[in-house]
Amino acid sequence: MRKVVIYRRLTGYKIPNSRIRGKDENYKWVINSSKSPIHSTNNPWGMKKTPREVSLYKVLANLIYEKGENAFMELGNIYLQVIKRRFAQIKEQGDGTFEQLDETDIHWTFNEASNSIAVIVKHMRGNMLSRWTNFLTTDGEKSNRHRDQEFINTIQSKQELLTVWNEGWSVLFDALEQISAEDLRKRVKIREQPILVLEAVERQLAHYASHVGQIVYIGKQLKGNEWKSLSIPKGNSAEYLQQMKQRYGK
């Protein structure tokens, strides 16, 4: 009975139907997203007609209905551990880039339409403070945020850049520690739009990964042959594969 109540609260339906439970092989499962990498935000697939969608709320509710509360909580706890590592890995990519840059590098831009590393970091910090402060209880777009101002550079030195960078990440990691598996199926708001906590976390992960990718790319272009690789260096793939096999292989 508890499963049905949870399902109804999440989805508005009494019990899962055959489509939601995945018995229809032609039914495509996709997660609704308010942001899209391709064309319109209402069309994340970049096509005239999108696949039929099933809400992530229903996916989670179906997991509870089919497998029970304990299965959901176990999966949620595993997810939280994984997502913390993923955010940490993204930050490490930025840290590794900053170590190789000098004072002038952080202000370099390709053209007037481009953002410098300093501006990207300022924007990320503004986003992080807005999204992750009181993450579960307040709208992720805070009234005291001035997003357009984040793209006007005010960072004067590399030391200031590192301070701004670490401030944003500190707020993020503190917020993640406050999220429980139970919280993942709750809703939060971003610009008044209600979305699942799990989706809000994934949305920020993708956002920050894209910006850190920009930072790394700029750093590689500026340092040229002096660049120290932050991943597997070119030409070392086979050697790295053997190392991993020796470490994890039977």
Q: Is 186 left (phi over 0), alpha (psi -120 to 50) or beta?
A: beta
Tokens coding 2: 């508890």
Which residues, in sequence order, are bridge partners of residue 195? 188
Q: What is the pTM of this model?
A: 0.76
Q: Is the pLDDT reported for residue 146 higher than 60? A: yes
**Residue 40: predicted pLDDT:** 36
User: What is the per-residue pLDDT across 12-36, written as a single tens digit (0 to 9) for each?
Assistant: 444 445 444 444 333 333 333 333 3
Banded pLDDT at 59 (limits 50, 70, 90): low
- Could you give the residue range(s) of every CATH 1.20.120.450 domain in the chain? 73-230
Q: Is the pLDDT reported for residue 49 higher than 70? A: no
Contacts 24+ apart (CB under 8 A), 75-78: 75/181, 76/180, 76/181, 76/182, 76/184, 77/181
Q: Which residue has the higher pLDDT, 18 or 181?
A: 181
Tokens coding 63: 């997991």
The CATH homologous superfamily for domain 73-230 is: dinb family like domain (1.20.120.450)
Residues in the chain: 250
In Å, the largest CA–CA distance within the chain is: 64
